[in-house]
Structure 1
Amino acid sequence: MWKATAALLALPCSCALAQSSVTLYGIVDAGVNYVSNAQTARTANGLKGGSQWSVMDGATGGIQGSRWGIKGAEDLGGGYKAVFLLENGFFVNNGAAAQGGSLFGRQAWVGLATPYGRVTMGRQYDEVVDFFAPLLAAPQWGGYMVEHPSDLDNASNTRRANNAIKYTSPTLSGFKFGALYSFGGTAGSFGKNSIWSAGMGYAYGPVNLGAGYLKARNPNTSFFGNNPNSGAATTNNLGGLGSATTAQSNPIFAGFASAQSLQIIGVAGSWNVGKATVGVGYSNTQFQDLGSSSGPNPFHYTGTATFHNAELNGHYQFTSAFSGGLAFDYTTGGGTAQKSSAKYELASMGLDYALSVRTDVYSLFVYEHASGTDSLNQSAVATITGMTPSATRSQVAIRLGMRHKF
């Protein structure tokens, strides 16, 4: 009797499990990095720095940030599914939590997938990340060091959108589009701290095209300041001036924390010929209406600071296991906020060898040169993404890394 009852009770559970799935996955990326010059202090006599060797996680100096996540789907019938994803970022070199200590700082969302598209809610990537970024060198093969200076256009998803609702369409004749809105949650002001984004992609044969747009109100808190360790509007969440004992942070745009809004536009394309892929990309990043109460403004900037960024990249699959990539990126910034424009030239090379389907070893070489005046009202210094800024106009970074996916 008891055996029969237990068998009957088990039947509904077996059916439910057959229509649902939950997957544990992750990436561990670690390597040894060399930097020719890294700041150590800002003194009255100028910036101080020296060469540096270190073991670094992929999130700061490699191809991909280390992570683990859980994703799942439940079939609701008729082509509808309930879906969710929880993704944690961590630093493999010391075990610390990434994204300011967030438990699921990379992504955390739940939603509904239908034949007409997917709607999700939570902490998510914007549409610049979804449609523009995949055609650039950094997300494809180069990682964070190859990214545009300080990831100024968020193409390496350094920053996420909290409290966001997002729609992603199905692919229709090669086209796909999406839109996101992040609620600011400020009583009495619907638009304050809000973010909205839209994007579109097209793929046909060897051609891929993508474009993304993002507009963030009060970016110092809504976009740069949405991690647990971030500060209020009186804190500069974009970066810092440094001190007699600490290095500067993101000098390319740290002086623009008082922007009323941030606007990013990115367009990119790639063409595949046999084993070779060639890509181009352009982004326009604007810190608009400087001098607002959104963040500190130590240099009393007004107007708009604009950055133009252009990238040319190439990738070649020498064998099924061995591949390599080259990229050149040029950034110029300035506008009414600065007396002169800063310029950044970035040359990158990467080699990758797959030991198996899930494990590879790789090397990266990156050189950056800066000129002009940066956002901290100083002679611009080289700022390879993920590395401590240089004390000089030039910086070289080299990495030997290993990545495992599970």
Structure 2
Amino acid sequence: MNNKLISIVVTGLLASSIIKSAFGTNVSIVGRIQAEYSGINIEGFSTQTTVNDPTFFSSWGIRAFEDLGGGFRVVTMIDFGFNTNGGPVGNREMFVGISKDSFGTLKFGRTHSPFADFAGGWTIDPFVYTTLQATGSGGTMIASANGLGSGSYSAVNSVVRFTSANFNGFSFAVLLMPGDASKLEAHLGNVLGGEGNNIGNTGGENGEWDIQVAAKYAMEIQDHKLEVFGGYSRDNVSSAQKRITAVNLKTEEVGRIGGVWSYKNFQLQGQYDYISNAIGAATCSDAAALGAIGEVTTRQCNTAMNPGGNGDIWYAGGQYRWGNTTLIAQGGMTHANNTDSLESRKAKSFTIGALYQLSRRTNLFGGYQQVNVIDKNSPVDHDRSTWTVGMRHLF
């Protein structure tokens, strides 16, 4: 019955695409799929190997636009993520907006944050959406799905986002989340409330007008290319969070700076984030750790600050392109300062690996990552080592 229903829905979508195209709307079905053979060894536990898509890269969606004249057009996107082992489907970006090449794009709905897809973040991580990615368990980039999250596959609910066109190398992005946006998940041992040791009040609920802004400047001199970027994220403390007596929570602020320099086949990239009063974007959510929900001892979230605490995260990496192969080395460190109730913790990581382009849409990847943890809150640090080989295809 379910297979028949899916077939009917897909057939209907394809048919509606043809009909709508006749009225001037351009509709396309897009997607991507990935599988990895990976092994993860956590200190004190046996190595776990799987063939899966643990970072939730795979997705399919519908993209459409309609010309309005005068250079303006309507843009829409509906995107669904899925797991190659048959796991549940999850929502990605879902928005409607208007754009003009000389001005920019204004979106309404559910979109990625500028810290994820505009200024640094996964735009400078060649291993994004693999078990070797810098976010979360990689220990060198903010990774949450909650609040104004910067996780690889996460998006922010109930927002207005504007991304400008490029003006002589300069561009910027602004995201606003109204105060009644839905709360999203954070895996914080009920420190921020919630049910089942999982769901927390870490979204924009009753916290008026959370905001994230970012800007970047790109220039090219002969064979040298340089891009510098910076940003500011403000996740206002909500009324629900203010009622939590275990932690004196305040409005979270994150500042970011970074850049990319490339010369012919060589590239260096890096960024630095400073976090104050972590409550959302820099705390540990399900997007930030590999493993099943509830496996607290084995699910590392090395980018996480202590709830209500301060800290910083830095990331640096280099790439060298050799024919169809890109060789990669990167790493960094997270430092979560102590709070009144929690001790400090650090995570240092390094990653080496390679990407090989079979075609413009298909590549192979593989490598090794080591994360060393110094956690004064735990008698065992649970260091982590990961290896993987995988394949992905875009369609």
TM-score normalized by the length of structure 2 = 0.71
Match of 2:207 in 1: 192
Match of 1:395 in 2: 384
Could you tell me how far apart the structure 2 residues matched to 1:16 and 1:94 are? 32
Could you tell me how far apart the structure 2 residues matched to 1:220 and 1:379 are? 35
Match of 1:107 in 2: 93
Q: How far has the Cα of 1:93 moved from its partner?
A: 2.1
Match of 2:219 in 1: 204
Match of 2:162 in 1: 167
Distance 1:80 1:380, change over 3 A: farther
Could you tell me how far apart the structure 1 residues matched to 2:35 and 2:240 are? 31
Q: How far has the Cα of 1:311 moved from its partner?
A: 1.4
The equivalences for 1:29-44 within 5 A come to 29-37=34-42
- The alignment of Structure 1 onto Structure 2 pairs a total of residues equal to 318
2:64 aligned with 1:72 = yes
Could you tell me how far apart the structure 1 residues matched to 2:177 and 2:33 are? 30
Could you tell me how far apart the structure 2 residues matched to 1:201 and 1:328 are? 23
The equivalences for 1:242-257 within 5 A come to none
Match of 1:348 in 2: 351
Assess if the C-alpha contact under 8 Å between 1:27 and 1:405 holds in 2: yes
Could you tell me how far apart the structure 1 residues matched to 2:46 and 2:380 are? 17
Larger radius of gyration: 1
Match of 1:59 in 2: 55
Could you tell me how far apart the structure 1 residues matched to 2:340 and 2:130 are? 30
Distance 1:280 1:14, change over 3 A: closer
- List alignment gaps of at least 5 residues for structure 2: 1-17, 144-148, 182-203, 281-304
Match of 2:394 in 1: 405
* More displaced stretch, 310-319 vs 151-160: 151-160
2:83 aligned with 1:86 = no
Which of the residues 296, 300, 310 maps onto 2:314? 310
Could you tell me how far apart the structure 1 residues matched to 2:126 and 2:238 are? 24
Could you tell me how far apart the structure 2 residues matched to 1:221 and 1:402 are? 43
Q: Which secondary structure does the structure 1 equivalent of 2:55 belong to? A: helix
Code of the aligned partner of 1:198: V
Q: Which secondary structure does the structure 1 equivalent of 2:119 belong to? A: helix
Match of 1:378 in 2: 378
Which of the residues 247, 251, 266 maps onto 1:261? 251
Assess if the C-alpha contact under 8 Å between 2:270 and 2:315 holds in 1: yes
Assess if the C-alpha contact under 8 Å between 1:136 and 1:280 holds in 2: no
Q: Which secondary structure does the structure 1 equivalent of 2:366 belong to? A: strand
Could you tell me how far apart the structure 2 residues matched to 1:49 and 1:220 are? 40
Assess if the C-alpha contact under 8 Å between 2:115 and 2:121 holds in 1: no
Distance 1:274 1:77, change over 3 A: same
Match of 1:24 in 2: 29
Could you tell me how far apart the structure 2 residues matched to 1:303 and 1:395 are? 23
- List alignment gaps of at least 5 residues for structure 1: 1-12, 39-47, 99-104, 223-232, 235-254, 291-300, 382-391
Could you tell me how far apart the structure 1 residues matched to 2:269 and 2:28 are? 33
TM-score normalized by the length of structure 1 = 0.69
Q: How far has the Cα of 1:174 moved from its partner?
A: 0.3
Distance 1:18 1:276, change over 3 A: farther
Match of 1:284 in 2: 274
Q: Which secondary structure does the structure 2 equivalent of 1:106 belong to? A: strand
Could you tell me how far apart the structure 2 residues matched to 1:202 and 1:330 are? 26
Q: How far has the Cα of 1:18 moved from its partner?
A: 7.8
Could you tell me how far apart the structure 2 residues matched to 1:27 and 1:334 are? 39
Assess if the C-alpha contact under 8 Å between 1:27 and 1:403 holds in 2: yes
Could you tell me how far apart the structure 2 residues matched to 1:221 and 1:145 are? 35
Match of 2:13 in 1: none
Q: How far has the Cα of 1:173 moved from its partner?
A: 0.6
Match of 1:295 in 2: none
Distance 1:134 1:23, change over 3 A: farther
Distance 1:82 1:221, change over 3 A: farther
Q: What do residues 180-200 of structure 1 show as CA deviations (whole Å, max 9, x unaligned)?
A: 1111228xx995264211111
Q: How far has the Cα of 1:287 moved from its partner?
A: 3.2
Code of the aligned partner of 2:96: V
Could you tell me how far apart the structure 1 residues matched to 2:342 and 2:78 are? 45
Q: Which secondary structure does the structure 2 equivalent of 1:55 belong to? A: strand
Match of 1:49 in 2: 45
Could you tell me how far apart the structure 1 residues matched to 2:307 and 2:46 are? 36
Code of the aligned partner of 1:216: D
Assess if the C-alpha contact under 8 Å between 2:367 and 2:388 holds in 1: yes
2:233 aligned with 1:214 = yes
Code of the aligned partner of 2:235: A
Match of 1:123 in 2: 110
> What percent of counterpart residues are identical?
20
Q: Which secondary structure does the structure 2 equivalent of 1:129 belong to? A: helix
Q: How far has the Cα of 1:339 moved from its partner?
A: 5.7
Could you tell me how far apart the structure 1 residues matched to 2:331 and 2:22 are? 49
Q: How far has the Cα of 1:155 moved from its partner?
A: 4.2
Q: Which secondary structure does the structure 2 equivalent of 1:49 belong to? A: coil
